[in-house]
Amino acid sequence: MIDRGRHNVLGIRVDAVDYEAAVERIIDAAKKTRPMAVSALAVHGVMTGVLDRVGRYRLNHLDLVVPDGQPVRWALNCLHGVRLVDRVYGPRLMQKICQRAADEGLPVFLFGSTAAVLGRLSDSLQRRCPGLRIAGVQASRFRRLSQSERDQTIATIRGSGAAITFVGLGCPRQEVWAFEFREALSMPIVAVGAAFDFEAGMVPQAPRFLQDRGLEWLFRLLHEPRRLWRRYLLLNPLYLSLLLLQIARLRAFDPEDTSEPTEELLYG
């Protein structure tokens, strides 16, 4: 089990952990009904914090931020010498958490995406993890929530008996959701993004050899060019450029250079 602390990547604090350490921390919080906000962060997620001081505040106040993308793992290794041998990939992390949750008798709640995706996701997770209890599901409304809808969502999840909530709203909305609902739910909230679509079989995953070489973005771009071209063709080069500046110590990125949110966004 590897847990080598939190480290600064372009002003975003990322945890140098492996799957075992991440799962252990999440399961421990679930057993103790302790609030915990978790994000599996790839380059796009890091850049949402780099370019937005309020977003940076939220990310740096999550309890666990794991290196979902290979370029984020490489940055940790290069900048801080943590010697991580693998990333902590959101879809695989969700699978591992669900297997432990099944073994420990901890029900899970699935929030986000569409009813069709949630149905297929539930079936897939229960096939993959025999004994897993899905306490409930709630599809996204794809808009901001009213205060009453927020309260209803909290009551639904808490009343379901869930011990862990997985959120799939896309980045950065799911990180905002985890940040804002953390205290009210008092359980691990794990933002895993595209893991919902991947596990449900709605979107194809990149072959392992592309994932290992940090080229998953290219596979996804080829499959969804109209939706993803700005994310990958603009943000990836900017990430690399800024990272080289941090490595060369030509620019400092201060994790404390943030702006505290002045209102809740209440995505759902």
**C-alpha to C-alpha distance for 143 and 265, rounded to whole angstroms:** 10
Spatial strand order in the sheet of 134-138: 64-67, 36-41, 188-191, 164-168, 108-112, 134-138
Q: Give the pLDDT mean for 142-152.
A: 90
**C-alpha to C-alpha distance for 90 and 44, rounded to whole angstroms:** 14
12 and 104 belong to one structural domain:
yes
**C-alpha to C-alpha distance for 243 and 92, rounded to whole angstroms:** 26
42 and 110 belong to one structural domain:
yes
pLDDT value of position 227? 84
Q: Give the pLDDT mean for 221-236.
A: 81
169 and 233 belong to one structural domain:
no
**C-alpha to C-alpha distance for 42 and 90, rounded to whole angstroms:** 9
Q: Identify the band that residue 244 occupies on the pLDDT scale cut at 50, 70 and 90.
A: very high
pLDDT value of position 217? 77
Mean pLDDT taken over the chain: 93
Q: Which two tokens stand for residue 113?
A: 């995406």
Q: Check whether 206 has a pLDDT greater than 80.
A: no
- Structurally, the chain folds into a number of domains equal to 2
Residues of the chain with pLDDT > 70, as a percent, come to: 100
176 and 241 belong to one structural domain:
no
Instruction: Flag whether 47 is in a domain.
Output: yes
* pTM, rounded to two decimals: 0.94
pLDDT value of position 13? 98
**C-alpha to C-alpha distance for 238 and 167, rounded to whole angstroms:** 27
Range of the domain at 239: 208-247
